[in-house]
Amino acid sequence: MNNLLKGKKGIIFGALNDKSIAWQVALKCHEQGAEFVLTNAPIAMRMGEINKLAADCNNAKIIPCDVTKNEDMENLIKQSMEILGGKIDFILHSVGMSMNIRKGKPYGDLDYKWHHETLDISSVSFHRLLQTCFKMDAINDWGSVLALTYIASQRIFPDYSEMGDAKSLLESYARGFGYHYGKRNKVRINTISQSPTPTTAGSGVKGFGDFFDYASALSPLGNASAEACADYCVLMFSDLSRMVTMQNLYHDGGFSFTGFSYDVFKLMENKK
């Protein structure tokens, strides 16, 4: 390995099981010499297999955190610094949940209470994380913070529904805090816009399989895997990407800049 993160301390949100991007990020960060704390929502921890991941990562500590609660976030940051013995160098935010999708409410019939919950969990949580760190001065100068997003923030994919809006808001927070935290502490903040990925959450979206194949046919390099995304996160956490901030970085095999490919037509014929 390349020791790209040797001596660095981090926090990784959202590792549910080995299909999770966050799970792969944890494994790669471990390989590259980082120490980190794992966190997830209390309920996700019960469902998932995060203990197994922790064991594979030099017995990383696990701290439950409800990202919609200020006090949980404060506790997470405080404990993380105690456990890791100092300020944080990198954070991965991989958190999202759409109440309306889960409840079967379409885009033209959203329940707004649920919609605010979706925004709170999926987007405001990122601001809350950064604001908590900002107030506690918890991130080292030149630290790197990433959130995972999807191109539905910029173009419409109908089934992605309100999550597209949540991702737009998430990307906006990355720019906003990228400015303010950059000015004060040179902390850099970016989002990674990843190919559709067959995680537990992703696979649950209606028609995911067909859409996954469509995206792959349109992307010159095919869809990016969770492992490849984890590699890219490692790069963006490393000291070799210090001047990249406030960006939405497409990690998608070229999907975002491809308008058309005959492979889409071929795909359809093969499905017959």
Interface with its own copies in residues 122-141 (CB under 8 A): 124, 127-128, 131, 134-135
Q: Which of 194, 213, 198, 222 is nearest to 265 (CA)?
A: 213
Give the residue with the Cβ less far from its own copies, 15 or 174: 174
Stretch of residues binding its own copies (CB under 8 A), selected from 51-59, 78-86, 93-101, 259-267: 259-267
Does 4 bind its own copies (CB under 8 A)? Our answer is: yes
As given in the structure block, the two tokens for residue 28 are: 């790669």
What residues from 139 to 198 belong to the interface with its own copies (CB under 8 A)? 151-158, 161-162, 164-165, 168-169, 171-173, 175-183, 186, 188, 195
- What DSSP letter does each residue of 125-145 carry, written as one string? HHHHHHHHHHHHT-EEEEEEE
Distance of CA 225 to the CA centre of its chain: 14
Cα–Cα nearest to 99, from 127, 75, 68: 68
Whether the Cβ atoms of residue 131 and residue 180 lie closer than 8 Å to each other: no
Task: Please give the Cα distance from 138 to 114 (Å, whole number).
Answer: 31
CB 170 → its own copies: shortest distance, Å?
9
Angle between the 125-136 and 70-84 helix axes, to the nearest 10 degrees? Answer: 50
Kindly state whether residue 114 participates in binding its own copies, applying the rule CB under 8 A: no
Site for its own copies in 54-93 (CB under 8 A): 70
272 binds its own copies (CB under 8 A): yes
Residue 43 near its own copies by CB under 8 A: no
Shortest distance, CB of residue 20 to its own copies, whole angstroms? 18
How far does CA 49 lie from the centroid of its chain?
18
Which of residues 20 and 32 has its CB atom nearest to its own copies in the complex?
A: 32
Query: At closest approach, how far in Å is the CB of 81 from its own copies?
Result: 18
Min separation Cβ 48 and its own copies, Å: 26
Taking the least distance from each CB to its own copies, the nearer of 17 and 211 is 211
The CA-CA-CA angle for residues 260, 261, 265, to 5°, reads 110
Tell me the site size for its own copies, rule CB under 8 A: 90
Minimum CB separation of residue 228 from its own copies in Å reads: 5
CA proximity to 216, closest of 234, 233, 195, 236: 195
CB atoms near residue 27 (< 10 Å):
17
Question: Segment 206-245, which members bind its own copies (CB under 8 A)?
Answer: 207, 210-211, 214, 220-221, 224-225, 228-229, 231-232, 234-235, 238-245
Per CB under 8 A, 257 contacts its own copies: yes
